[in-house]
Amino acid sequence: MEKALFIRRGTRKEVSMEMINMHEKQQFMDDKKLIAIISEAGSAGVSLHADRRAKNQRRRVHVTLELPWSADRAIQQFGRTHRSNQTSAPQYRLLFTNLGGEKRFASIVAKRLESLGALTQGDRRAGPSLSAFNYDSTYGKRALTMVYRGIMEQDSFPVVPPRCSDNQASIEEFITEAKVALVSVGIIRDATVCNGKVAGKLSGRIVDADMHDVARFLNRLLGLAPDIQNRLFDLFISILDVVLHNARREGQLDSGIVDIKGKNIELKEPPKTVHVDSLSGASTILFTFTIDRGVTWESAKAMLDGRENDGAGSSNDGFYESKREWMGRRHFTLALEGSTEGIYKIIRPAIGEALREMPLSELKGKYRKVSSIDKVSKGWQDEYDVSSKQCMHGSKCKVGSYCTVGRRLQEFNILGGLILPVWGTIEKALAKQVYQNHKRIRVVRLVTTNDNQRIVGLFIPNAAVESVLTGLQWVQDIND
């Protein structure tokens, strides 16, 4: 590291001022300097990636001190360290304060990057992942409308506003402060102070165009004092979480291509051709997979032991037991601190690693740490065994064998091959399903463990397979 800190820039006399940037860039690529500092003006056309042809092939850690206003410029900056022929992709570290309004910059870049991934690779998650900051989405617009309607007292809030109790007086005090703030930045217009029974109460209107304009909301937050700025942003995020939770529960959450993960993925039976296009001769093929998502007790114990032996774990790593019982028993999890301090990866016996990481406060609120290995091993193994036969709702689940919540062994049907000509037929077949989460078309992706082939197609719930196949056969008969 000393050579990175003490070799001064441009000390060699034979390097002209016009070539100093290229000389410094080459010093970095030749592994003579370990840190490269670039600006927007001096970075055009510069390649600083872990090129296989360069001596410095270390993984790049790209720290962005200030996100630009333009998403295109941000992509140009990311492109300095993320290029073809690299030995490893870079890690991106985006720095901004915890002010709610500053999330605006990350939101704009996130939305642009997701669009770029969708256009170039058919996947919105391609490229640097900022999806957590993409607030300007359909769900973000819906959440903002709920924020504004709550502040204007047209509806009640679906959550308790930040730093408010269930006491109505504290909520009304927050609403008053929020109205004053929104008036000051021009979101609430035609503001007046009421007389009579509601003397002193502030009223006004928010135009329809602003009700769902997330970019404008985040932009105007920058003009507010930090306290009310953060409270309004926290309210927006809390309501957005509720909107996303409801959409996920109803099977309406659009998350693009969904990855299907499991410790073991196997073809249950040979692929079956269910439709052949009369014009092109292309086939629509049904794949049926059996997927095991679970983690055995031995594997979970090895994960924790490995962390402890490497000295990479935290004092809060370990096995936890749920404080509340579910269906007459408590559940066990393994919590391991992730790359962010205080945020933990959650591994469960039935489903493996959970999609969502958990803050330490939430972890300790829902679970308690267990030190007895015998107790954990028995509870873990019991849950692992039971989850192979039934979902987490137990044997009396209303959905029956079609429910996959918390089920370790699952059967997945994926329709691949020719899809677009029969999309309407599939959509109609799914619309007839009883359960809401069986009605939406989902594009999924998995990798088979046997031949390492990537399969991308439409997910067909078990309950809908017969209906879909009947519809495809009807189309085939008509074409014939």
Q: How far is CA 404 from the centre of its chain?
A: 21
pLDDT digits (tens, 9 = 90+) for 224-256: 998 999 899 889 988 988 888 787 666 566 656
* Higher pLDDT pick, 54 / 67: 54
Strands 91-94 and 61-64 come out as parallel
Confidence check: pLDDT of 78 > 60? yes
* Residues counted in the chain: 480
Q: Which residue has the higher pLDDT, 171 or 395?
A: 171
**Assigned token pair, 374:** 């015998």
CA distance 25 to 263: 43
Q: What is the mean pLDDT of residues 452-464?
A: 75
Q: Give per-residue pLDDT as tens, 389-426.
A: 787 777 777 767 667 777 888 888 888 888 888 888 88
Q: What angle, 0 to 180 degrees and rounded to 10, lies between the N-to-C axes of helices 138-151 and 226-249?
A: 120
Tell me what the mean pLDDT of segment 283-312 comes to: 87
Tokens for 142? Answer: 């819906």
pLDDT at 17 over 90: no
Please tell me which residue, 66 or 226, carries the higher pLDDT value.
226
Between strands 258-259 and 202-205, the pairing is: unpaired
Q: What is the 3-state secondary structure (H, E, C) of the chain?
A: CHHHHHCCCCCCCCCCHHHHHHHHHHHHHCCCCCCCCCCCCCCCCCCCCCECCCCCCCCCEEEECCCCCCHHHHHHHHCCCCCCCECCCCEEEECCCCCHHHHHHHHHHHHHHHHHHHHHHCCCCCCCCCHHHCCCCHHHHHHHHHHHHHHCCCCCCCCCCCCCCCCHHHHHHHHHHHHHHHHHCCCCEEEEECCHHHCCCEEEECCHHHCCCHHHHHHHHCCCCHHHHHHHHHHHHHHHHHHHHHHHHCCCCCCCCEECCCCEEEECCCCEEEEECCCCCCEEEEEEEEEECCCCHHHHHHHHHHHHHHCCCCCCCEEEEECCCECCECCEEEEEECCCCCEEEEEECCCEECCCCEEHHHHHHHEEECCCHHHHHHHHHHHHHHCCCCCCCCCCCCCHHHCCCCCCEEEEEEEEECCHHHHHHHHHHHHCCCCHHHCCCEEEEEECCCCCCEEEEEEECHHHHHHHHHHHHHHHHHHC
Looking at every residue in the chain, the average pLDDT score rounds to 80
Question: How does residue 127 score in pLDDT terms, banded at 50, 70 and 90?
Answer: very low
Task: Provide the pairing of β-strand 442-447 with 258-259.
Answer: parallel
CB neighbour list of residue 255: distance below 8 Å, 6 or more residues apart? none
* CA 340/CA 59 separation, integer angstroms: 19
Residue with token string 């690779």 = 121
Average pLDDT score over residue span 173-186:
93
Cα(283)–Cα(278) distance, integer angstroms: 10
pLDDT confidence band for 125 (50 / 70 / 90): very low
Local confidence band at 5 (pLDDT 50, 70, 90 cut-offs)? very low
Overall average pLDDT of the 60-74 stretch: 76
pLDDT tens digits, one per residue of 80-109: 888 888 888 888 777 777 776 676 666 666
pLDDT of residue 254: 61
Which percentage of the chain shows pLDDT scores above 90? 19
**Number of other residues whose CB lies within 10 A of the CB of residue 31:** 13
User: In whole angstroms, what is the distance from residue 23 CA to residue 74 CA?
Assistant: 24
Instruction: Calculate ∠ Cα 113-115-120, nearest 5°.
Output: 95
CA 475, 477, 478, 480 torsion: positive or negative?
Answer: positive
Token pair, residue 455, equals 């399969």
Per-residue confidence band for 294, with pLDDT thresholds at 50, 70 and 90: confident
The pairing of strands 358-359 and 202-205 is unpaired
- The residues, ordered by sequence, that sit 6+ positions from 299 with a Cβ below 8 Å of its Cβ are none
Q: Does position 113 have pLDDT exceeding 50, yes or no?
A: yes
How far is the C-alpha of 311 from the C-alpha of 5, rounded, in Å?
29
d(CA 436, CA 432): 10
Residue with tokens 């692992």: 384
Residue 205, Cβ density class (10 Å: 0-12 exposed, 13-18 middle, ≥19 buried): exposed
Q: What is the pLDDT of residue 320?
A: 94
Examine the pLDDT at 332 and tell me if it is beyond 50: yes
Return the closest-CA partner of residue 318 out of 395, 388, 366, 370.
370
Predicted local distance difference test score (pLDDT) of residue 396: 76
